[in-house]
Amino acid sequence: MFHSLSRRDLLKAVAAGALVSAIPTAVSAGPLRRVRYEKEEDGVISGHMTGAAALVETLLKEGVECVYGIPGAQDNELWDTMKTKGLPYLLVTHEFSAACMADGYARSTGKPGVLCVVPGPGVTNSLSGLGEALLDSSPVVAIVCDVARGEKYKPFQVHELPQVGLLQQVTKGVFPVKCVGDIPNAVREALALAVSGEPGPTAVVVPYPLFIETFKFHCPPLALTGVPLSEDAFARAVDLLCDRKRRVGIYAGLGCMDYSAPLAEVAELLQAPVATSVSGKGSLPECHPLSVGWGYGPQGTKTAEQVFGDVDLVLAVGVRYSEVSTGFYSDPQTPCLIQVDANPENLGKVMKTSVCVHADAGVFLSRLLEQADCLRRPKDCKLPARIAGLRRDEYKKCQESYAKCGIDPMLVVLALRHCTKPDALFFVDVTLAEHYAAEALTAVQARTYFNPTNNQAMGWSIPAAIGAQRVFPCRQTVTLTGDGCFLMTAMEISTAAREGLPVKFFVLDDQAYHYMQKLQQSAYARTTATLLAHLDYAALAKGFGVGYNEITSEDDLEAGIRAALCQEGPVLTRIAADYGKRPVRWIDAVRKRYMRELNAEQKARIVARVGARSIHLKKEND
Ligand SMILES: Cc1ncc(C[n+]2csc(CCOP(=O)(O)OP(=O)(O)O)c2C)c(N)n1
Ligand SMILES: [Mg+2]
């Protein structure tokens, strides 16, 4: 079941078959979010120009709306050309942020996000953000300037790191450019690969002397192919789904994000409850009567766990069963599982699967709808009522406060939802509260809930939110971060201030890595390296030039949030957080599953250690 191929290998294997071809194939299907030109010649890069000009023209013709990054000596030519040609850009404070911003743009729009960085530190700084995009299947394209190579190579150049080799580790594919004439196609292939099949990051690496070389270009747009649907497997899936003796549950992932309507129709036809992965939250609006929220094991919502207890066939669409979403692989194995994914390398990797269908989620769902007569089941009036009842009970439990001095982060999650518009964009960071948010922050619209799920790169939410706000200036955009995450990327708030991007930054201030404390306490009966500095957030906000707001009591929570949301421009809000002793379903599920995998000796060691330490009178925390 578990295989040792790296994620990059998996994505690369698929990319080889599913990408760019000169001739469009009739059987191909699936979304190709490429710019549609009215006339084919509108997409041609044509004329005598520099490499920098050709690169910028290509980005413009491919519909790129913003380039995030920092210029350097090697690519000033490129930045100057962006300005001349009117390609919007956003200067950031750190290349990790540039990658996260491109990712935030990509997740909120569904289109590839673009960053531009210098070689050496620009590349290495961007790696964590690209890694997040790789593990979270987000289409990001890095335009990377390289030192001089080939004939122009000189020894001991500044920033002379192996850019291509570094980028290969965290992308689906790297396109190194050797001649100036190849620039447009390299950029187009990188953009196409980023969105083809299972999306992911790519990079184009251009040695800087090529930016000032001139060439007579004539480069038409690439023809793209989609993901083919495996007909045999589809027919077997339909057979299983038509069998009314099996009660179906749908597990929807990120692959369904642009198919809310067909997903809802299929669920209604099958009278099936719908659970999602963390990244799939909102693919079926969580206010839909058949939505049971996140997960369907002990880690996710209680509603999903209970309702899926009665399911004997799971239809998993555009989802991988990754570690975080499943709470360390805690989703129960159902007797029958159909898994559908655009990446065949994802199929049957974690769960025992009855039928694996290699297909784009949207194509699969619309093909299912063609079989409506056979799939349609009698209306089950009890199911929506049962879901509604369970969700109500769960909501009530979430409303109870566990805080002793300060605010329970679960209440923050509920209040944020309550005070924001349905299309508000939420960027939730790697705080323990991310598990509360996955459970209780209902995503009522697709592409509104974002979390760095599988690389868990702390600090991601602040730049990712700024990246999205740049292209959605009028939508409420909110971050929920812990104070530890805040410390990693807070400097980027200066970018929001400089550009007047009105992101509302909410920080859960508990002066600790509470997430680590929660994990450490049960296994070690003490905490180590988890206490953070006491910060003067008001002074920080003043320094950044953004609004400031502080919420210290649960009674003031909603009023405080509304006050921040009403204020124009970016606002930093400190929330005095106290997690108290609220159980975290995700943590409990992971712990239980993890313990099950330990041998007797390993278990005994933990028990003995915790036992011995708990009788110490002196606490040895941090
Ligand atoms: C870059 C990075 N470093 C370390 C970790 C491990 N880690 C995960 S959560 C966490 C603490 C988060 O603390 P904070 O932001 O204060 O959130 P809290 O749980 O206290 O709400 C750490 C250190 C990580 N995921 N990413
Ligand atoms: Mg904290």
CATH number at residue 347: 3.40.50.1220
Instruction: Look at residue 9 in the predicted model and tell me its pLDDT.
Output: 57
User: Given 185, 219, 253, which residue is the final one in a domain?
Assistant: 219
Report the side by side order of strands in the sheet with 140-146.
Answer: 89-91, 67-69, 113-117, 140-146, 202-207, 173-176
74 and 129, same domain (yes or no): yes
Helix segments in 525-572, DSSP class H: 537-544, 557-566
Instruction: Look at residue 21 in the predicted model and tell me its pLDDT.
Output: 34
CA of 587 to the centre of ligand 2 (A): 16
* 216, 572, 579 from 554: Cα distances, Å: 65, 18, 13
| Residue 612 located in a structural domain | no
| 311 closest CA partner among 388, 241, 381 | 241
| Residue 602 located in a structural domain | no
Q: Is the CB of 515 under 6 A from ligand 1?
A: yes
Bridge partners, 274 (sequence order) = 250, 291
Give, for 334, the enclosing helix (H) or strand (E). none
Domain harbouring 540, CATH code: 3.40.50.970
205 and 92, same domain (yes or no): yes
189 and 239, same domain (yes or no): no
487 and 548, same domain (yes or no): yes
Instruction: Look at residue 11 in the predicted model and tell me its pLDDT.
Output: 56
Report the residue among 125, 434, 513 best suited for mutation to probe ligand 1: largest number of ligand atoms under 8 A from its CB. Answer: 513
Instruction: Look at residue 28 in the predicted model and tell me its pLDDT.
Output: 34
Q: Is the CB of 430 under 6 A from ligand 1?
A: yes
Q: Three-state SS across 67-111?
A: EEECCCHHHHHHHHHHHHHCCCEEECCCHHHHHHHHHHHHHHHCC
| Residue 545 located in a structural domain | yes
- In terms of C-beta density within 10 A (0-12 exposed, 13-18 middle, 19 or more buried), how is residue 605 classed? exposed
| Residue 345 located in a structural domain | yes
Domains held by the chain: number: 3
Nearest CA to ligand 1 atom 2: 458
- The 10s digit of each residue's pLDDT in 146-195 is 999 999 999 999 999 999 999 999 999 999 999 999 999 999 999 999 99
Instruction: Look at residue 223 in the predicted model and tell me its pLDDT.
Output: 85
User: Given 338, 362, 390, which residue is the final one in a domain?
Assistant: 390
Residues in the chain where the model's pLDDT stays below 70: 1-35, 617-618
Nearest CA to ligand 1 atom 11: 513
20 and 73, same domain (yes or no): yes
Q: What 3-state DSSP class applies to 347?
A: coil
| Helices 95-109/461-471 angle, 10° precision | 50
Half-sphere exposure of 64 (CA within 13 A, CB side): 34
Distance CA 529, CA 511 (A): 12
276 and 173, same domain (yes or no): no
> Cα 297 from chain centroid?
21
∠ Cα 590 591 592 (to 5°): 95
Distance CA 264, CA 259 (A): 9
330 and 368, same domain (yes or no): yes
CA of 406 to the centre of ligand 2 (A): 13
Residue 622: Cβ within 10 Å count = 13
Give, for 284, the enclosing helix (H) or strand (E). none
Residues, CB within 5 angstroms of ligand 2 (ion): 482-484, 510, 512, 514
Q: Is the CB of 508 under 6 A from ligand 1?
A: yes
* Domain carrying residue 149: 2-219
The tokens for 225 are 């192919």
| Residue 601 located in a structural domain | no
195 and 341, same domain (yes or no): no
- The 10s digit of each residue's pLDDT in 502-543 is 999 999 999 999 999 999 999 999 999 999 999 999 999 999
- The 10s digit of each residue's pLDDT in 298-310 is 999 999 999 999 9
Q: Which amino acid is at 299?
A: Q
> Are residues 499 and 92 in contact, defined by beta-carbon separation less than 8 angstroms?
no
The tokens for 259 are 């198919």
- In terms of C-beta density within 10 A (0-12 exposed, 13-18 middle, 19 or more buried), how is residue 524 classed? middle
Q: Is the CB of 549 under 6 A from ligand 1?
A: no
Q: Is the CB of 74 under 6 A from ligand 1?
A: no
| Residue 589 located in a structural domain | no
| Residue 482 located in a structural domain | yes
Q: Report how far apart the first and last C-alpha atoms of the chain are (Å, whole number).
A: 39
Q: Is the CB of 458 under 6 A from ligand 1?
A: yes
427 and 312, same domain (yes or no): no
Report the nearest atom of ligand 1 relative to the CA of 485: 15
> Are residues 69 and 121 in contact, defined by beta-carbon separation less than 8 angstroms?
no
Instruction: Look at residue 616 in the predicted model and tell me its pLDDT.
Output: 74
424 and 509, same domain (yes or no): yes
> Are residues 440 and 410 in contact, defined by beta-carbon separation less than 8 angstroms?
yes
| Residue 346 located in a structural domain | yes
386 and 417, same domain (yes or no): no
208 and 174, same domain (yes or no): yes
pTM, rounded to two decimals: 0.95
